[in-house]
Amino acid sequence: QLADIGVLGLAVMGANLARNAARKGFGVAVFNRNGARTDELINEHGGEGRFTPSKTIPEFVASIAKPRAIIIMVKAGQPVDDVIEELLPHLEVGDIIIDGGNSLYTDTNRRFHYLKDRDIKFIGMGVSGGEEGALEGPSMMPGGTREAYSRIEPIVTKMAAQVDGEPCCTYIGTEGSGHYVKMVHNGIEYADMQLITEAYDLFKTVYGLEAGAIADIFAEWNKGELNSYLIEITDAVLRKVDSTGKPLVDSIVDEAEQKGTGRWTAQSALDLGVPLTSITEAVFARALSGRRAQRAEAEKRFPHPATTKRTITQADIDAIRDALYASKIVAYAQGFEQLAVASQQFGWDLKLGDLATIWRGGCIIRARFLNRIREAYETGGAGDNLLLQDYFRDAVVQAEANWRKVVGLAIAEGIPVPAFASSIAYYDGLRRARGPANLLQGLRDYFGAHTYGRLDKPGKFHTRWSQDGSEIQA
């Protein structure tokens, strides 16, 4: 019997997706360049379902029912192109290649059109949830043609996580939209994690709390509106004691690595002109963390602001929680605005409420909070910016005093809180009908004759600054 789907690339993600599909009753053809991985999968988990292992690409392709659907799960970048070229001679019109890796959306756009010209359908599918999600049910963001999606829909909607009876998988849009959405998801994940580390830093550095005590606070927060996977695992990571009997976190090197999706999100925001401050600050914070030698040197050369010894109170804990929650709302509002702008710019017709829906389970940013975002889009109240929607506006207004207090304290104490601070700066910039860019426009006109608009009359104007000082209509 021919397999329902093929999975090529059997490292941790591919192997787990293949097992997931097999456990759901689908026949799964499997192939990996290095055959040892295929053997390992079959030896260890072959009993979980109907697998058809192959040692060559022609054999692999021939073992899948037509039109063939092949998920490739290999290292992002050139390997994806290499695998596509290896598959092409063996595919037939109407077959579908699904790239489930973290590919850059512009690569997916290119591959989509390249394969379209060869009558092969291409789906760029973002998969979130890490190793465990791939096995137990990830959140999946497939982009490509609707027709191609219909072929795989019965399979992927069963493989995905389910929340309230709904699969965490839906058709996203054409071209590279699925990978774009996954990229912004990862960007939001960067901001979420940065906000968590800033809260941790304040508890540890300003209030002198031990990891275990901070874990207790996160465990408590996870019962309220902050309830989410990342808050839950923060508790677990802080609580972990290693073989020396000390908190593991205290021995982990403070240098954050990154694979690119956060950086790509920020780069796209710059291209689209979206003020994506939280995610971008999170990317920069990782970059600064990576300059460990420079930081060690700087610590010796610069004095630290005098700190007061503080004993934490419940009010302090609540203040940091409020700062985290308000900043989180800003990060999501910015991320969703970026999705809206990209959708318009690229003609993708993204359904933002659907994205909040499929992110409620399976993925790394899964959170109670996403129900609120979904509701905001369902009622049409989200408009251009989630912050303007009643629920989020009220939440931010309620948190505002504490948010200011925490950012003020952090600055006074010399603790960097770039995501908290940039979020409040964005909020303060947003909630003012008149900002200071009038001066900026004056400066631009002075040195570059870039012209400015006036509040009191229509049109564009230029002042002859270095001549007679008169104003002319441009």
Return the active site residues. 182, 189
**Which of 364/410 has CB closer to ligand NDP?**
364
Min. distance of Cβ 301 from ligand NDP in angstroms?
Answer: 39
Contact indicator for 134, 127 with CB cutoff of 8 Å: yes
Which of 29, 74, 120, 140 lies at the binding interface for ligand NDP (CB under 6 A)?
Answer: 74
Min. distance of Cβ 474 from ligand NDP in angstroms?
Answer: 50
Min. distance of Cβ 159 from ligand NDP in angstroms?
Answer: 14
Contact indicator for 385, 333 with CB cutoff of 8 Å: yes
Asked if 143 is part of the footprint of ligand NDP (rule: CB under 6 A), the reply reads no
**Which of 74/152 has CB closer to ligand NDP?**
74
Min. distance of Cβ 234 from ligand NDP in angstroms?
Answer: 18
- Stretch binding ligand NDP (CB under 6 A), from 30-38, 63-71, 147-155, 369-377: 30-38
Asked if 141 is part of the footprint of ligand NDP (rule: CB under 6 A), the reply reads no
Which of 5, 22, 91, 127 lies at the binding interface for ligand NDP (CB under 6 A)?
Answer: 127
Site string for ligand NDP, 439-458 (x = CB under 6 A): --------------------
Coil, strand, or helix at residue 92? coil
Name the DSSP letter for residue 76: S
- Which residue sits closest to ligand NDP, CB atoms considered? 101
Burial class (CB in 10 A: 0-12, 13-18, 19+), 444: middle
Span 7-26, contacts to ligand NDP by CB under 6 A = 9-14
Which of 3, 19, 32, 122 lies at the binding interface for ligand NDP (CB under 6 A)?
Answer: 32
Asked if 92 is part of the footprint of ligand NDP (rule: CB under 6 A), the reply reads no
Q: Which helix (H) or strand (E) holds 36?
A: helix 35-45
DSSP codes, 219-254: HHHTTTTT-BHHHHHHHHHHH-B-TTSSBGGGGS-S
Which of 5, 70, 83, 319 lies at the binding interface for ligand NDP (CB under 6 A)?
Answer: 83
Q: List residues forming the annotated binding site for substrate.
A: 102, 128-130, 185-186, 190, 259, 286, 444, 450
Min. distance of Cβ 244 from ligand NDP in angstroms?
Answer: 28
- Cα–Cα dist 7/58, whole Å: 14
Which of 46, 49, 130, 414 lies at the binding interface for ligand NDP (CB under 6 A)?
Answer: 130
- Stretch binding ligand NDP (CB under 6 A), from 78-86, 243-251, 299-307, 330-338: 78-86
Which one-letter amino acid corresponds to residue 6? G
**Which of 129/167 has CB closer to ligand NDP?**
129
Helices (H), 140-203: 146-159, 177-201
**Which of 77/275 has CB closer to ligand NDP?**
77
**Which of 14/187 has CB closer to ligand NDP?**
14
Q: Which token pair is 473?
A: 């209509």
Contact indicator for 11, 17 with CB cutoff of 8 Å: no
Give me the residues paired with residue 64 across strands.
3
Contact indicator for 91, 61 with CB cutoff of 8 Å: yes
Query: Which is nearest to 373 in space by CA: 402, 339, 347, 411?
Result: 339
Residue with token string 């692999």:
60
Radius of gyration of the chain (CA): 25
Query: Which is nearest to 196 in space by CA: 422, 423, 419, 426?
Result: 419
Which of 73, 206, 358, 417 lies at the binding interface for ligand NDP (CB under 6 A)?
Answer: 73
Query: Which is nearest to 88 in space by CA: 121, 65, 64, 66?
Result: 121
- Cα–Cα dist 107/260, whole Å: 14
**Which of 53/418 has CB closer to ligand NDP?**
53
Asked if 131 is part of the footprint of ligand NDP (rule: CB under 6 A), the reply reads yes
Min. distance of Cβ 102 from ligand NDP in angstroms?
Answer: 3
Angle at 87 between CA 81 and CA 88, to 5 degrees: 90
Binding site for ligand NDP (CB under 6 A): 9-14, 32-34, 37, 73-76, 79, 82-83, 101-102, 127, 130-131
